[in-house]
Amino acid sequence: MSSKIKILSENLCNQIAAGEVVERPLSVVKELVENSLDAHATEIRIIVEKGGKRLIRVEDNGAGMSREDLFLCLERHATSKIASADDLFCLKTLGFRGEALPSIAAVSRVRLASQQENSAEGFEIHVDAGKVQKASAAGIPAGTVIEVRNLFFNTPARKKFLKTEQTEFSHIADFISKISLSFPQVQISLEHNRRTVINLFRHHSLSDRVVALLGAEIFSQLTSFEKSGLEGLKVHGFLGSPDLNRNSASAIHSFVNRRFVRDRLFQHAVMEGYRNLLPRHRYPVVILFLEIPPDLVDVNVHPAKREVRFRQQGIVHDFIADSIQDALRGRKLSVGESNPAGMGWSFPVSENRKPEAVESGKPYPFVSTKTSRNYSSRVVEELTGFKPVQYPGPSRTSDPETGEAGEISSLLPDDPDFQKRGFFSSLQVIGQYHNSYIICQSREELILIDQHAAHERIGFERLKSQFENGRVEIQELLFPKTMEFGFQDAAALQENLEKLLKLGFGLEPYGGKAFVLRSIPAVLNPDQAEQVLKETLEEIVVLGKSRAMTHEIEKLLITMACHSMVRANQSLSLVEMRSLLQEMDDVDFSTHCPHGRPAVMRLSLHDVEKMFHRP
Ligand code: ADP
Ligand code: MG
């Protein structure tokens, strides 16, 4: 009987390996750039077309390859970086598996050209879906050029998984910006569709590179830190002010021995380091380099080398968390000092947990200067989390005694006063309670209005109807503002310019990652606009396309609305209270509240009497 089991062909093996190593254009860029860095290049140029789907070209001035190596590097498990299993545990290079080039070549059309310094001539070879098509001498400068065209052209099923050009490119830009932090001395440029997106010269220090990459404004909110621990552990980098917090963990940049990794352990340790300083579900901006003796870490646990495993996970975790905590603690503010010179930032007070010093009865060391962000995220949570207010159906409209006796009921839209002259405008204002609630009475009811919730709802309803009618009311900025964004945000911006314009933000590309902000929604205070735009963008990046569009827009409107609103704890004059009531009528407050919490409560005379046990 013949055997059913077959040894797979070399090419098929490479295609299977490619499934693990080459997931998307980003993977190709990552492997090629890592190779260039391993070859000690000091200049790397990356050229991408159509998000990397059409072309990825990486040029470097590194060590180059001989003619023989040019052929060999395409063989599976061909590497110059390790020779024995022991080498796996004292790695000094980013690559070591010898899988990348054959995997990439198996699913694209590749041209490799290389010239070693001091050799008479260079060589190039062309490979199509893993098969060498031609090889010849080539005149190129010392270094290596690898061109990858038509990724996944021979594996259409995989091609279907690719996202839009912009999305694929934003992953690439994000990776380049991260890896460039790890190699500040290397000149790195990235072009997309013939536009230069990143252009970093050689920098002397990490700080210079951070400024060049993230901008001086963010840099001013970072503080550098460094610590050595047991077992040869060392950590250094930058910690963002807790105020600089983000919606996702994507701004936690972690590196192990200069290798960028996305590792749960790191994220957890960082969050532990920032414990009590961040609002719920917010993440800090952190650049963290861990140096660890190579024999204490295994980098060979993930085909794309994104994750690592430590021999002593707990020790590494605690070392990172403690280092961050110490660094942040060392910079605590003294009482009343909100933003001392040189600090550039202050700690906000987190929502749910009080800073430790408060818990332990020490003087209150944190002064919050910017809580709006915590605040807005909380409002979004609250508004989206609450169930819609249940209005009674038509069957109950004839019954004026709504709600169970003795219970506070939500405001009902079926009150005859609603239809006539505006229910709220017709109320008599008794006063304000606790600078937060407006107390009114109608003919026989006591009405409590949460001024903040009411304002929020007004703003939201107004924005929503403006949005539905085409465009949100805008105000042109007297002084258009140039804003710099991170790569991912800039890509999201570029993709969503129209959507943002509909929301009232008029933005124009200004080259690279810069945009000019010309108009903002009329409801916003120009001072807050930038902040709201950034948050809105974050929402877009995080929510992406995964959620229904309407939900997304609604969330954005809520974010915007809560920035324009009257806060709780604000004393209002009678005129202001009256105008609030008027506005409540104007926006048709009663008819729909997509995820509103009750902004209004009312007690009938009967309810009040019952409270006091009156017959
Ligand atoms: P690995 O990086 O794991 O060794 P690769 O498939 O990525 O495996 O590369 C195979 C080999 O090709 C490398 O070990 C290296 O010797 C050589 N190589 C690849 N890219 C370059 C480059 N840009 N410059 C010099 N040598 C390179
Ligand atoms: Mg490699």
Q: CA–CA separation, 197 vs 188, rounded Å?
A: 11
Dist. CA 244–CA 96, nearest whole Å? 37
**The predicted structure's pLDDT at residue 36:** 97
- With a 6 Å cutoff on the Cβ, whether 61 touches ligand 1 is no
For residue 484, what pLDDT band results from cuts at 50, 70 and 90?
Answer: confident
Q: Is the pLDDT of residue 415 over 50?
A: no
User: Between residues 410 and 315, which one has the greater pLDDT?
Assistant: 315
Q: pLDDT at residue 568 above 80?
A: no
Ligand 1 and 63: CB distance under 6 A = yes
Q: How many CB atoms neighbour CB 40 within 10 A? A: 11
Spatial contact of 393 and 538, defined as CB atoms under 8 Å apart: no
Predicted pLDDT at 550: 53
* Residue/partner pairs of 199-205 with CB below 8 Å, 24 or more apart: 202/42
pLDDT mean over 515-532: 82
Q: Rounded to whole angstroms, how far apart are CA atoms 372 and 431? A: 27
Q: What is the distance in A from the centroid of ligand 1 to the CA of 74?
A: 9
Whether ligand 1 lies within 6 angstroms of the CB of 81 is answered as: yes
pLDDT bucket at 551, cuts 50 / 70 / 90: low
Higher-scoring residue by pLDDT: 350, 197: 197
Q: Poorest-confidence range of 158-172, 246-260, 386-400, 532-546?
A: 386-400
Residue 285 has pLDDT above 90, yes or no: yes
Residue 46: beta bridge partners? 58, 190
* pLDDT at residue 92, rounded to an integer: 84
Report whether pLDDT(418) > 50. no
The pLDDT confidence band at residue 396, using thresholds 50, 70 and 90, is very low
d(CA 546, CA 108): 29
The whole-angstrom separation of Cα 130 and Cα 440 is 79
Q: Is 565 in the pocket of ligand 1 (CB under 6 A)?
A: no
- Taking each helix axis from N to C end, the angle separating 313-329 and 264-273, rounded to the nearest 10 degrees, works out to 30
Selected residue with higher pLDDT from 477 and 110: 110
* Residue 552 confidence class, pLDDT cut points 50, 70, 90: low
- Nearest CA to 221 out of 335, 132, 116, 345 is that of 345
Distance from the alpha carbon of residue 592 to the mean position of ligand 1, in angstroms: 62
Q: Is the CB of 101 under 6 A from ligand 1?
A: yes
The mean pLDDT of 532-547, rounded to a whole number, is: 65
Using CB atoms within 10 A of its CB, is residue 482 exposed (0-12), middle (13-18) or buried (19+)?
A: exposed
Answer yes or no: is pLDDT of 226 > 90: yes
pLDDT of residue 219: 93
Any bridge partners for residue 123, and if so which?
Answer: 114, 137
Q: What is the mean pLDDT of residues 265-289?
A: 88
Residue of the nearest CA to atom 14 in ligand 1? 79
pTM of the model: 0.61
pLDDT for 375: 35
Q: How far is 281 from 377, CA to CA, in rounded Å?
A: 9
Of all ligands present, the nearest one to the C-alpha of 98 is 1
Q: Which atom of ligand 1 is nearest to the CA of 97?
A: 3
Q: How far apart are CA 65 and CA 158, in angstroms?
A: 31
Q: Does ligand 1 lie within 6 Å of residue 100's CB atom?
A: yes
| For residues 588-599, average pLDDT | 51
To which residue do tokens 């930038």 refer? 530
